[in-house]
Amino acid sequence: MKAKKEKTKVIMPLLGRYGIHYAIGLIMLFTVDYVNLYIPEFIGNVIDGLESFTLDLNGILTICLRIVICGLIIVAGRFLYRLFIFGSARKIERRLRDMMFSKLELLSQRYYNEHKTGDIMSYFTNDLEAVRMAIGPAIVSAFDASVLTVMVLIRMITKVSVSLTLYTLIPMGVIAIFGYFYGELIEKRWAKKQESIAALSDFVQESVSGERVIKAFVQEKAQERAFDKVNDANRKTAMNVQKLDSAFGPVLHFLVGVTYVVAIVVGGGYTIKGEMTLGSFVTFNYYIGSLIWPMLALGDSVTLVSQGIAGINRIHQVFDEPQDIVDDPEPDNVTELEGEIEFNDVTFRYRDDLPLAVDGVSFKIEKGETLAILGRTGAGKTTLVNLLTRVYDIDSGSITLDGHKIKKIPLSVLHENIAYVPQDNFLFSDTLAGNISFGKIGASREEIEKAAKSADIHDNIMEFPEGYETMVGERGVTLSGGQKQRSSIARAILKNSPILILDDALSAVDTDTEERILDNLKRDRKGITTIMIAHRVSTVQNADHILVLEDGRIIEYGTQDELLSRDGAYASMFRKQQLESELSMVE
């Protein structure tokens, strides 16, 4: 019910805003259609006048001038209706696109986990285009299919003959039905063809990406055979479209021809009997020509409108998506945070049917302390961090910052006070300078370089020909995993927040670099509360406290010395990594 109500909220006000534009556009369209019908009539007038000798050369000239004037009106009218109708559709499309992006920015990771990027992208591409077609060309098609048809029919009946009009309506109806079914059928086959070309593209993409494996395992011939199958399937689906498409034009042409035959036999018969003038007969033939487009427009508009409705319904799913991570209606009055973090019996699960990802976790980090979190893949380390940054909201328990429940802290304040280095080192297609200053808009070059030096990436950046202006991503250099990690550390350092989170942020750098970065952090970022997720003992041994997670529960917590003397999971991990170096000492 709620969704239904929302529906009218997005598209209708937009259409309403351009209501006058649409009205003017439709008036223009009507004018064009109306004037267009005068041309066949003028031609008929000339022929009749010539036949009955009531027209002289001056008379013909007058009519010819009228034809040219009609042409001018049509040209102006066509431009104007396109400007008003198609132009408005474009404006609405742009507005919808912006609105959709803003809405998506408000949705939490929960939404992004359930929706693939490719699927969300299709809202912006396919669905938005379907909507634009429905509020642009479909309106013109529908108008022509209805109003133009009626206008032509009225003229046929009043200016020519009722019975002749009725006779020609039969093949015309067939054309309309034919056009509609053709549209339905070709749409389906076209979709199949698109699927098969996408499959072909995916195959090549994967095959080329796996080139090394293919060469190493001498799979070239096998790949060729597999590709041949995909290629052949693509050819077949393409031919399915082509079979239908090849027939459409000729069949339409044939049906139109049949309409003319009917007009010749019946209309010609009337003319012979003197019931109809030759000019009317010729005019009628031209009217038939003007009816073909509205007949096809009928099928077009039905298809376009139904696709548009499907598109807007899908787009509405985005707008209807409830926002689950929101500011508290009565937030605490905090603008700055010190960095004291406390988890109190926190539980959380990703979905109701999944086991607890975080199970009764409690700990406290004093301002300026460093907490290291260890644990196996899937133990819940990243989840803890995601709960602190409110990427997800906890199910029960509480998380407090400086004594404020995080839900009571405005999201913008919370995020402004946490610097975060994610596990996947996501960088934007921007310059390195742009990426590093992402957390602090308008940072000076000195600040950027200082952060880069702390993250031990400055020297690498200076080696690029364009230095800090080097573009990252597809259109620029491809950074190594370590370089990406260090850039993303520099980004967090520059943000200069009281809380710093490093989520397995040093995994791709060697131990030397790791040590340098950790030293830099210790020196430059005194008094910063730090949470560090890691696998290596070397990374965590300088932390104030170490927390070991397993299956979402804390199994060990304490200082390194405490944990070593406890002789538990951490101690065993420490020994294993230590053992190797000791063994080599003995040998």
Partner 1 sequence: MAKMRVDNPEIHYKGNVFSRLFAYVKPHRGKLVLCMFLVLVLTALNLYQPLLIGHAIDDCIEGYYYPYVYDNAGDISFGGDTLRKLDDAKNLEGESFAVILNYNDAYYFFENLDKGSASELLKLRDVPESMTADGDTLSVSGKYSGTLLTEDELSVLRKTDREGLIRTAVIYSIVLLVVAICSILNRFTLESMGQSIIYTIRNELFSHIHSLPLRYFDTNPVGRIVTRVTNDVESLNNMYTQVIVRLFENSVLIIGYAVVMISIDLKLALISFAFLPVVFVITMWLRTASRKIYRVVRTKISALNTFLSENLSGMKIIQVFNREKEKGQEFEGRTTDLYKTQMKELMIVWIFRPIIFLIANVALAVIIYNAGGNVLAGTLTLGTMYVFINYIRSFFEPIQELADQFATLQNALASAEKIFTVLDEENPIKESETPVSLDKVRGKIEFRHVWFAYENEDYVLRDVSFIINPGERVAFVGATGAGKSSILNLIGRYYEIQRGQILIDDVDIRALSTAEIRRAIGQVQQDVFIFTGDIKSNIRLLDDEISDAEIESSSVAVNADRFINQLPKRYDEPVTERGATLSAGQRQLLSFARTLAYDPSILVMDEATANIDTETEELIQDALKTLMEGRTTIMVAHRLSTIQHADCIHVMHKGKIRESGTHQELLEKNGIYKKLYEIQKQ
Locate 260 and state its tokens.
């003319």
Determine the residue type at 6: E
The values of phi and psi at residue 51, to 5°, are: -70, -40
Give, for 346, the enclosing helix (H) or strand (E). Answer: strand 341-348
> Under 8 Å CB-to-CB from 418, ≥6 apart: which residues?
388, 389, 497, 499, 500, 501
Cβ 252 to partner 1 shortest distance, Å: 9
- Tell whether residue 184 is a contact of partner 1 (CB under 8 A): no
**376 scored as a contact of partner 1 (CB under 8 A):** yes
Q: Does 269 bind partner 1 (CB under 8 A)?
A: yes
| Cα separation, 436 vs 456, whole angstroms | 13
Q: Does 377 bind partner 1 (CB under 8 A)?
A: yes
- Region binding partner 1 by CB under 8 A among candidate stretches 92-100, 140-148, 309-317, 547-555: 92-100
Does 354 contact partner 1 by CB under 8 A? Answer: no
Q: What sign has the CA pseudo-torsion 89, 95, 96, 101? A: positive
Q: Which residue has the tokens 């376009």?
A: 304
CA 233 from centre of chain: 28
DSSP state of 18: T
Phi, psi (5° rounding) for residue 309? -65, -45
The residue (of 246 and 317) whose beta carbon lies closer to partner 1 is 246
Looking only at residues 435 through 494 of this chain, which bind partner 1 when binding is defined by CB under 8 A? 438-439, 441, 473-475, 477-478, 481
Task: Single out the residue of 47, 448, 489, 517 in contact with partner 1 (rule: CB under 8 A).
Answer: 47
Q: Are 458 and 452 in contact (CB under 8 A)?
A: yes
Query: Among 30, 124, 350, 363, which residue sits at the site for partner 1 (rule: CB under 8 A)?
Result: 124
Closer residue to partner 1 (CB): 181 or 254: 254
Residue 186 lies near partner 1 (rule: CB under 8 A): no
Position among 28, 29, 37, 74 found at the interface with partner 1 (CB under 8 A)? 74
The binder of partner 1 chosen from 154, 173, 426, 565 (CB under 8 A): 426
Instruction: Determine which residue in the list 268, 355, 403, 527 makes contact with partner 1, applying CB under 8 A.
Output: 268
Distance CA 433, CA 470 (A): 8
Query: Is 319 a residue that touches partner 1 (CB under 8 A)?
Result: no
Positions in 271-300 near partner 1 (CB under 8 A): 271-275, 277-278, 281-282, 285
Question: Closest distance between partner 1 and the C-beta of residue 4, in Å?
Answer: 27
Least distance from C-beta 295 to partner 1, angstroms? 17
Give the contacts of 346 (CB within 8 A, at least 6 positions apart). 358, 360, 361, 362, 387, 394, 396, 397, 398, 399
Q: What's the order of all strands across the beta sheet hosting 529-533?
A: 418-421, 499-503, 529-533, 370-375, 545-550, 553-558
Site for partner 1 contains 400 (CB under 8 A): no
Which helix or strand (DSSP H or E) is residue 344 part of?
Answer: strand 341-348
Least spacing, CB of residue 101 vs partner 1, in Å: 5
Footprint (CB under 8 A) of partner 1, residues 542-581: 573, 576-577, 580-581
Is 216 a binder of partner 1 (CB under 8 A)? yes
| Interaction of residue 190 with partner 1, rule CB under 8 A | no
Dihedral (CA of 164, 168, 170, 172) sign: negative
Nearer Cβ to partner 1, position 87 or 366? 87
Q: Would you say 420 and 472 are in contact if contact means Cβ atoms under 8 Å apart?
A: no
Each residue 144-183 as x (binds partner 1 by CB under 8 A) or -, in order, gives ----------------------------------------
Instruction: Indicate whether 541 belongs to the interface with partner 1 (CB under 8 A).
Output: no
Tokens of 160: 């020519």
Nearer to partner 1, 330 or 587 (CB): 587
Q: Is 65 in the site for partner 1 (CB under 8 A)?
A: yes
Closest separation between CB of residue 195 and partner 1, Å? 13
242 binds partner 1 (CB under 8 A): yes
Residues counted in the chain: 587
- Interface with partner 1 includes 97 (CB under 8 A)? yes
User: Could you tell me the smallest distance in angstroms from the CB atom of residue 257 to partner 1?
Assistant: 4
Residue from 495, 505, 556, 557 binding partner 1 (CB under 8 A): 495
- Rounded Cα distance, 184 and 176, in Å: 13
The values of phi and psi at residue 348, to 5°, are -160, 140
Angle at CA of residue 187, ends 186 and 189, nearest 5°: 60
